[in-house]
Structure 1
Amino acid sequence: MPSSTTFLEAIKARRTNYAITNTSPIPDSKIQEIINETVLHVPSAFNSQSTRVVLLLKGEHEKLWDITTDVLRAIVPAEQFPATEQRMRSFKAGYGTVLFYTDRAVVRGMQDKFAIYADRFPTWGAESTAMHQFAVWTALELEGFGASLQHYNPLIDEKVASTWGIDRDWELTSTLVFGAPTGEAGPKNFESLEKRVKVFGA
């Protein structure tokens, strides 16, 4: 059986990497397997299973970043847009994007069923979606991808929903763009563990 060391090494390997290309070290079927296994096995409060995932590859991925560029062009000041456009091109240069959603219909259903916790289910839904993001990101990293998590919601929500026929109850939370890396991730600074962890009874 794998040890916790193996798992922790995988966590350490996951980094933000913006330098990516439109090639893949694994077949598309393996990417889909990662998505499917994550959706099946990542936990959720009360087993609500409120997370939804959309995988866009190749031309569909490029279409997403064209949409995002057009949306931002309408709101970013002209003098600042060249830097924004350059960033969008770097994302479009990747191989794929994973869109992470929370299904608000499921959240509402859980609120009705367990009224005593009604105010908590939106937070718990967000927590589950975050765990899916982390699991997919880490798995893709282990397969040789570079990736970064982006947040252009709610600016792009309407156009994305209409383009791919996304259920209007699905609330977009983040986009994970990935591709074969062309460079190493940058350095990462850490706050001291003394500030972040407390242990009692050891």
Structure 2
Amino acid sequence: MPTHTRRSVLGFAAAALLAPAVLSTEPANASGTLTFGQYADEWTMINQAQPGTSYWAYDRDRAKVGLEYGAVPVWRSVFRIDVAQLAGAVIAEAAFAITLDHTPTGSPTPVDLWTTEPIDPGSPVTWNNFAGSWLSRVGTAFGSAWTGGEQPDQELRFSGLAAVVQRAVDKQERYVTLGLRAPEETSKTQWKKFYGETAHLAVTYQR
């Protein structure tokens, strides 16, 4: 599993902002498979302890997930990814990846990936109004990036999302929206912080 130092992650995030989409124009191999990479164009969080608070313009340093270690809030994070350029594509494989910045221990712990209802930066997204927007769990990844143990940042990858992306393409939806939450939201060992700007989809497809 790839790892990143904090310096490399910052460069990775900067690249996401400067060149958010990479769409291949030539077949990647003899079978005609193409590749597509897209960073999240928007992301936000919700916080159970502040159920009416929207985080579009507040507390944006990291994307938080799980029961905060040493505190009481339970956090979830949501990411919107533009897949309009995949219109008409047949999806072969798809994966979501994001860089983990911090965990409270050095032992790998799980985080779940869910499909969610869409998010819009023009509308508040809060714990209260997004409570029923978690649709289905589509994957689990394990990781650790214990700052106190000098562990490096770690890229977590969720594979097996071809059906999720294909469904959005077939419905002619512009975005795929995915959320991260802890499997056990009462467990402080599953607390995590991510670099939100590193969230991205990697897709192989055919036309």
The answer to whether TM tops 0.5 is no
TM-score when normalising by structure 2: 0.32
Higher strand share: 2
